[in-house]
């Protein structure tokens, strides 16, 4: 019984850490631009354009999906592992 409680706690801790990592990586204050992109955006904004205003948000949006996929697969892996262990102990 204690081993099962330990597994549940580890799973909850893993989920908590995964959510924390996702929230940490999705930040509006992050600057995720290469030097060339930054130069183009600054030039565009100085000239009165608005095309580069959402570039940083777009980069962060696209960057989040690999992390979400990794977290999702990790959660599925641990749930499957837990399910396999429970079926072996029964």
pLDDT at 23: 77
Q: Are 87 and 20 in contact (CB under 8 A)?
A: no
Mean pLDDT by groups of 10 residues along the chain of 90 residues: 72 84 69 70 80 73 89 92 79
- The domain segmentation of the chain, as residue ranges, is 2-89
pLDDT at 68: 92
- Which two structure tokens, joined as six digits, stand for 67? 């992390």
Q: What is the token pair recorded at 64?
A: 């989040």
Task: Identify the pLDDT of residue 32.
Answer: 52
**Spatial separation of the C-alpha atoms in residues 49 and 58, rounded to whole Å:** 17
Whether the CB-CB separation of 49 and 21 falls below 8 Å is answered with: no
Q: What pLDDT is recorded for position 28?
A: 55
User: What per-residue confidence (pLDDT) applies to 17?
Assistant: 85
Q: Is the pTM of this model over 0.95?
A: no
Residues 77, 67, 14, 11, Cα dihedral to 10°:
-30
């Amino acid at each position: 019984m204690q081993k099962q409680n330990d597994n549940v706690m580890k799973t909850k801790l893993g989920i908590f850490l995964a959510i924390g990592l996702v929230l940490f990586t999705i930040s509006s204050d992050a600057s995720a631009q290469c030097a060339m992109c930054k130069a183009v955006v600054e030039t565009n904004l100085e000239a009165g354009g608005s095309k580069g205003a959402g570039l940083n948000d777009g980069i962060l949006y696209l960057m989040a999906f690999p992390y979400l996929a990794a977290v999702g697969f990790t959660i599925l892996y641990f749930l499957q592992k837990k399910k396999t262990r429970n079926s072996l102990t029964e």
